Every structure is written in structure tokens, then in C-alpha cells.
Structure 1
Amino acid sequence: MNVSKDLIRLAALGFVLGMVIGDIMVVAFTASEGMSLAAPELIDEFGELPAIIIQTLLSGVLGCICFGATIVYYKDEYSILAATCIHMVIAFLTLIPISNFLWWTGRVMEGNIVVLAMGICAYMMVWFSVYMSYRIQIQKINEALERRNSGEQ
């Protein structure tokens, strides 16, 4: 496994996906206010085109860091829980400042708390899903080993 190549590949993919997902989310959340490719407050602050460019690039940076940080799951010495916690900290240390700057959370503490709570719930669901998947895989391996050792094959 070439970690640096994997990191670059993940980060590049994350940058592209981050830009696309960020723009889709803003359009979805501002649809009731009319079509907008950036938060209205960001447009008021920077103007329409610069706001769209800033938001798209920062969404890409967020995606780049979050996808790149998945490299922690490649480390065999980390448990699933440790890798998930490390990734969560990296993601939130990136998400909170970017979401505040882009007006995604309204630049208020309540918005940050909601994002944090939703994120923690999402990470808990992901961790539990991965844990259960690995547990089932290990159970199947153990059953196959028992059959092999007992001569059943």
C-alpha cells in the first residue's frame, strides 16, 4: 500500500466531490428563497460571483480534508473506534470554521451545536454499521475455520 498515493487520490476525489456536494446542498437549502449558488449572506458580503467561487473552493477544501483523512482507516494499529474519532476531530476542525465563514450555520453558536450534534450522530451510525459488518465477517471466518478444523469442509 502506497499511503502517499492513496492520500493524494483520496484528497483529489474529495476536492471534486466537496465542490459538487457543497453547491448541491446550498441550492437545496436556499430553494425556498429562490435559486442561489451561495448563501445569501455570503453574497451580501462578497458579491455574487466571488461568493460562489469562494464557497465552491472552500467546499472543495472541506471535501479534500475529509476524504484525505479517511487514510486513518488504513492504519492497522488503529481500532475502528480510534480511527473514527480521529477522522471526526479532523472533519469538525475543518467543518466548523468553513461552515461559519460560508454562513452555513448562520455564524451563531446554536448552528454550530446543531452541526456538531448531527455529525456525532452520523459518526455513531457509521461506526456501528462498520462494527457490525466486521463482526459478521469475523463470525463467518470463524465458522469456516471451525468447519475446516472439524473436517467438514
Structure 2
Amino acid sequence: MKKEALLRGLLGVPLGIALGHIISLLASLGLAGGEFSPCVPSLVQAMGSEVAAVALQTGLSGLLGAAFGAGSVVWSLDHWSLVKQTGVYFLIGSLAMLPIAYLAHWMEHSLRGILGYFLIYLAIFAGIWAIQYLTWRRRIGKLNQKLE
């Protein structure tokens, strides 16, 4: 399982970087008034230059992808309950997402900002989990009908 987690983590790095870039592009399209804004201005200010800020954000996005990729091995542990798999994956994701989001200035650096970001993360996680659950439940139902 360690080998599989390492492999998934390594595959998660470029995926995390790609998703980070796509999110930056979409945010720029919606919020930056026609200008490309690869990262938030407060990160640029904290890092001293846009290049340093983008480099940090790229590394953090890769690290985030690695954490989610490596953590995904919990879904293949059939001897674990769905509740345990979900809880462990949520914990792994939270322990990666919140510090990275803080360091990348994706959240306001205050207790209110941290709690708000966590609630948004929780809502997105729950939404994606519910969609995946319902999708797999429907697929399994179709397979069971074919078997009967």
C-alpha cells in the first residue's frame, strides 16, 4: 500500500499544478478584469515578486495534489467502512489543504478567514462525496439488475 500511495502521490503533483493553474485562469477570467492574475496580490506582496509568488503557489499546488493523490489509497481499503474511508480521506485532505491555503494566501489570515475557508472546503468535499456516492450507487444498482 505504501508503494501505491507513493505512486499516486507522484502522479498527483502534476495534476495539482495543472488544477492550480486552471483555477488561477478561471479566477482571472471572472475577477481580474481581463488581466491574468496567477496568484492573489497579498501573496505577491508577501513574497516580494510575482515570480516568487507563482513559484511558491506552483509548489504548494503540487504538494496539495500529492497529498490528495496519496490519500486516495484509502478508497481501495475494502476492509474499511465507507465512514472510516471518508473520515480518513477528509482528515488527510484537511491537513494538507488548510495549511497550504494559508501559506498561499487563498484565505484571509484571521480566525474568521480560516473558519470560513474550512466551511467552504467542507461544503465542496461533501458535495463531491455525495455526487460520487450517488453515481456509484446507481452503477452498482444497474450491475445488480443485470445479475438478476
Structure 1 unaligned segments of length 5 or more: list them.
148-153
| Matches of 2:145 and 2:16, distance apart in 1 | 41
Whether contact under 8 Å (1:11, 1:63) holds in the other structure is: yes
Tell me the CA shift for residue 60 of structure 1.
Answer: 0.4
Write out aligned runs for 1:1-153 (5 A).
3-30=1-28, 31-32=31-32, 34-46=35-47, 47-144=49-146, 147=148
| Matches of 2:50 and 2:145, distance apart in 1 | 60
TM-score, L = length of structure 2:
0.81
| Matches of 1:88 and 1:131, distance apart in 2 | 15
The structure whose RCO (Cα within 8 Å, separation 6+) is larger is 2
| Greater Cα offset, 135-144 or 22-31 | 135-144
What's the % identity of the aligned pairs?
25
Whether contact under 8 Å (1:27, 1:38) holds in the other structure is: no
Structure 2 unaligned segments of length 5 or more: list them.
none
Q: How many residues align?
A: 144
Letter of the aligned partner of 2:37 in structure 1? S
TM-score, L = length of structure 1:
0.79
Higher Cα Rg, which structure: 1
Provide the aligned C-alpha RMSD in A.
Answer: 2.3
